[in-house]
């Protein structure tokens, strides 16, 4: 067996806890672990320590929550495959276990988002260990190590470098409000309306004080002096009418200001978010394919939807609410201290208790909410998994088992939610009591001041009315510290994407080519998706204009990588790729893409009509041109048999069409595109023999006058190629016609023999 001892630089060899090592020792695992990883979720999806230890013979999963316990021990020989899966807010490690009933998938480990990269890489490492008995040397592969925040040391989610605890809130806020510059006058109007709205809301309260002290003095209230009342009656009524009029006017003005403010704020928030969302999506379209290779689609979608959605809540609700709460608090404090500094000071005494209590509450609640969010994600992932595989569940009679799993995770979500509600049930009564202390203070101290003649009764009424306007905004403002933190974290995550530079960029002095002739030359090209792992090695290949090249070789040999370089999804690591004698890196990207047509192995159709999908590369094509392309791809006949013809909706990813129909639509799309260089990646893999024959005839006409690269595992489909290029281990090992390569009895001959043997086995089995 090859040497499987790990290097000291291995990112998966950290000292195990003594209790875990002791449990492993009981089953004979003593220092011979090749790989090991600690995760942060237990088997129920709750936070807890679990370890996976891999030896050349088996996998062992150990939990360590209070006491160490071996959960699973699986021989590597019983595993058909191991892979990681991205979940909602988490990631898991699954094995395909060989059993007497067949193979079945079993989840053996799970971790939060911060562990996703390590789990993904660990799956690759264990798979290599299972197949070859050793772990590949990756001393410089530090990008798979657990990434931690340089400030606080907390683990970072795998798809971001932003720590939600250490986010630069002020910097993110400044940058976010930089998007308001195009709307600065509307923003100023919104601020003035906020100030005016808050000021107007205090008019009825201040008017009440005047009513009590001026219109209804003690003599009027008691009716003690009829002569005095009669003498002041006219003036009091006039003042009463004036004050009532002021109150009505303030209410009308406040309603108008609130209406305008709401509309301005809604327009501002929506406009700014539209600008951010459009800029983000535009930037995502410009990022290199390698950016998406390293990230899950769901993680990227989360940036566009969830993170931008968090900014929407901030701009439309949190920011405005923060401004209003701050202005309200300042107004109340000013009114209280202006009318009676002593009583105002006493009323404000409970405020620090409210602030400290609310901060403590939300600090603890954040952890509880994180658990709720995780359990909710876990439940959603279980539901999506079970419903997506409902046919498998039915076929294996696993309904009760799936119900049990769902109920278990639902119970975990219930318990986490109860934790939040229980904490809230204890917090709000206490805060209500503290905030209620202001009223006894006002009546106790203020009442005595009124009785001593030190305070007007109207001022006392003003204080009682102001209390309700004080504590609620303070509590809301304290809570919004967390909302601002979440929003600024979302902003940083959005800005992180916007600050990501594409790896494949257009040259500053790019060359425009109106018509590509089609000469393609690979000059000593080497390339690796990871630089220290080359996929292509010193490839030299010249393809003349109009020549059809068939690329053949085993899976993983590098055929698709050659195509990816030609499409300039990636740039070569070493050497040069020339088109018509010009380095592909110097060609204007739009000119290159407009003159290359692709039919991929997995034909992708967008949600829409058949017509839209065929004309995707040429949106301005006429209906006649679209139909001609469909006829050339032998798709016209089945299209017109649909009730809606070319207006038939294809469904999500073309699910309403068969595999062969989807493939012919994709071929029609390429035909209409009328490229100078054509790429066929298993273009006929998803069609039956009869359809394949028809498509081959269409492709025979299509490739005339175009440089064509065709990949096919069925070697017979490449008989018409001008030349076959055999790729093996990232190198071009043979090149020639079909007959020439057969006569050499080399790599191509071996491929043909292997395929013929497989066809014979299939024929016997059929």
The percent of residues above 90 in pLDDT, for the chain, comes to 1
The pLDDT of residue 148:
63
Residue range 231-250, pLDDT digits in tens: 555 566 777 778 788 888 88
Residue range 264-294, pLDDT digits in tens: 888 887 888 888 888 888 888 887 777 766 6
Distance, CA of 286 to CA of 74 (rounded, Å): 45
Domains of the chain: 18-144 (2.30.29.30), 169-340+479-498 (1.20.1560.10), 518-595+707-766 (3.40.50.300), 597-674 (3.40.50.300)
Who wins on pLDDT, 122 or 713? Answer: 122
Measuring CA to CA, which residue among 298, 296, 294, 295 is closest to residue 307? 298
Instruction: Find the angle CA(375)-CA(380)-CA(385) to the nearest 5 degrees.
Output: 125
pLDDT at 147 over 60: no
Measuring CA to CA, which residue among 152, 74, 81, 87 is closest to residue 115? 87
pLDDT at 763 over 60: no
pLDDT at 402 over 70: yes
Q: Two tokens at 657?
A: 């069409």
Q: Two tokens at 725?
A: 């290029």
pTM for the full model? 0.62
The pLDDT of residue 322:
80
Residue range 305-356, pLDDT digits in tens: 777 777 776 776 777 778 888 888 888 888 888 888 888 888 888 878 877 8
Q: What are phi and psi of 66, to 5 degrees?
A: 90, -50
Q: From start to end of 569-685, where are the E strands? A: 574-579, 582-583, 596-599, 677-681
| CB hemisphere CA count around 100 (13 angstroms) | 0
pLDDT at 485 over 80: no
Tell me the average pLDDT of the chain.
Answer: 76
Who wins on pLDDT, 41 or 163? Answer: 41
Who wins on pLDDT, 334 or 167? Answer: 334
Rg from Cα positions in the chain: 36
* Cβ-defined contacts of 635-640 (< 8 Å, 24+): 635/661, 635/664, 635/665, 635/667, 635/668, 638/664, 639/610
Q: Other CB atoms closer than 10 Å to residue 175's CB: what's the count? A: 16
3-state DSSP assignment of residue 686: coil
Distance, CA of 329 to CA of 299 (rounded, Å): 40
Helix (H) or strand (E) holding 73: strand 67-75
Measuring CA to CA, which residue among 748, 331, 309 is closest to residue 490? 309
Residue range 82-111, pLDDT digits in tens: 877 765 456 778 888 877 766 777 888 888
Distance, CA of 214 to CA of 570 (rounded, Å): 82
Distance, CA of 261 to CA of 253 (rounded, Å): 12
In the 8-state DSSP scheme, what is residue 599? Answer: E
Report the range of poorest mean pLDDT among 237-246, 252-261, 522-531: 237-246
Is 11:144 a contact under the CB 8 Å cutoff?
Answer: yes
In the 8-state DSSP scheme, what is residue 558? Answer: S
The pLDDT of residue 169:
63
Distance, CA of 545 to CA of 259 (rounded, Å): 67
């Amino acid at each position: 067996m090859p040497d499987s001892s790990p290097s000291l630089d291995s990112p998966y060899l950290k000292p195990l806890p003594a209790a875990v090592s002791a449990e492993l020792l009981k089953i004979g695992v003593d220092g011979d672990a090749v790989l090991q990883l600690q995760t942060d979720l237990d088997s129920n999806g709750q936070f807890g320590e679990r370890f996976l230890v891999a030896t050349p013979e088996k996998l062992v999963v150990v939990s360590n929550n209070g006491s160490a316990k071996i959960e699973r021990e699986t021989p590597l020989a019983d595993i058909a495959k191991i892979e990681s899966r991205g979940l909602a807010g988490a990631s898991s490690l699954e094995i395909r276990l060989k059993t007497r009933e067949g193979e079945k998938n079993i989840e053996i480990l799970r971790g939060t988002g911060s562990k996703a990269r390590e789990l993904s890489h660990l799956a690759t490492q264990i798979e290599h260990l299972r197949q070859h008995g050793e772990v590949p040397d990756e001393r410089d592969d530090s990008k798979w190590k657990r990434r931690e925040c340089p400030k606080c040391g907390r683990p970072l989610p795998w798809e971001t470098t932003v720590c939600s605890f250490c986010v630069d809130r002020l910097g993110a806020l400044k940058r976010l409000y930089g998007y308001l510059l195009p709307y600065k006058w509307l923003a100023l109007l919104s601020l003035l309306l906020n100030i005016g709205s808050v000021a107007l809301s205090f008019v009825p309260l201040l008017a009440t004080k005047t009513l009590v002290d001026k219109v209804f003095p003690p003599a009027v209230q008691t009716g003690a002096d009829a002569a005095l009342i009669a003498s002041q009656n006219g003036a009091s009524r006039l003042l009463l009418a004036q004050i009532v009029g002021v109150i009505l006017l303030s209410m009308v003005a406040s309603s108008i200001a609130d209406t305008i403010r709401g509309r301005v704020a809604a327009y501002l928030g929506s406009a700014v978010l539209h600008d951010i969302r459009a800029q983000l999506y535009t930037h995502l379209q410009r990022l290199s394919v390698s950016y998406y290779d390293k990230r899950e689609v769901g993680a990227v979608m989360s940036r566009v939807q969830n993170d931008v959605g968090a900014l929407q809540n901030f701009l439309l609700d949190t920011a405005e609410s923060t401004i209003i709460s701050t202005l309200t608090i300042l107004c109340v404090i000013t009114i209280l201290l202006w009318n009676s500094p002593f009583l105002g000071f006493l009323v404000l005494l409970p405020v620090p208790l409210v602030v400290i209590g609310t901060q403590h509450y939300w600090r603890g609640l954040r952890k509880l909410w994180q658990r709720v969010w995780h359990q909710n994600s876990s439940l959603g992932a279980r539901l999506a998994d079970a419903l997506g595989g409902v046919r498998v569940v039915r076929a294996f009679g696993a309904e009760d088992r799936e119900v049990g799993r769902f109920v278990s995770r639902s119970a975990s979500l219930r318990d986490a939610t109860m934790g939040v509600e229980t904490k809230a049930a204890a917090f709000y009564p206490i805060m209500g009591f503290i905030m209620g202390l202001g009223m006894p203070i006002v009546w106790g101290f203020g009442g005595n001041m009124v009785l001593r003649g030190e305070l007007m009764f109207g001022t006392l009424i003003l204080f009682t009315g102001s209390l309700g306007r004080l504590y609620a905004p303070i509590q809301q403002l304290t809570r919004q510290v967390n909302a601002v933190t979440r929003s600024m974290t979302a902003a940083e995550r959005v800005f992180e994407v916007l600050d990501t530079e594409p790896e494949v960029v257009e040259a500053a002095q790019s060359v425009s080519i109106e018509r590509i002739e089609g000469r393609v030359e690979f000059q000593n090209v080497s390339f690796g998706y990871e630089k220290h792992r080359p996929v292509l090695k010193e490839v030299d290949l010249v393809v003349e204009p109009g020549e059809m090249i068939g690329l053949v070789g085993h899976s993983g040999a590098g055929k698709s990588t050659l195509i990816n370089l030609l499409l300039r999804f990636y740039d070569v690591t070493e050497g040069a790729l020339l088109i018509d004698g010009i380095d592909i890196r110097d060609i204007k990207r739009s000119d290159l893409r407009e003159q290359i047509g692709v039919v991929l192995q997995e034909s992708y159709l967008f949600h829409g009509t058949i017509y839209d999908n065929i004309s995707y590369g040429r949106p301005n094509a006429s209906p006649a041109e679209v139909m001609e392309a469909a006829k050339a791809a032998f798709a016209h006949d089945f299209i017109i048999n649909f009730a809606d013809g070319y207006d038939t909706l294809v469904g999500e990813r073309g699910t309403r069409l068969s595999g062969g129909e989807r493939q012919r639509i994709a071929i029609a799309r390429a035909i209409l595109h009328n490229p100078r260089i054509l790429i066929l990646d298993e273009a006929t893999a998803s069609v039956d023999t009869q359809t394949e024959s028809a498509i081959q005839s269409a492709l025979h006409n299509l490739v005339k006058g175009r440089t064509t690269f065709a990949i096919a595992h069925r070697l017979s489909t490449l008989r018409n190629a001008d030349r076959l290029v055999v790729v093996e281990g990232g190198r071009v090992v043979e090149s020639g016609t079909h007959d020439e390569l057969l006569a050499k009895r080399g790599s191509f001959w071996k491929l043909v023999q292997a395929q013929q043997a497989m066809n014979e086995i299939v024929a016997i089995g059929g």
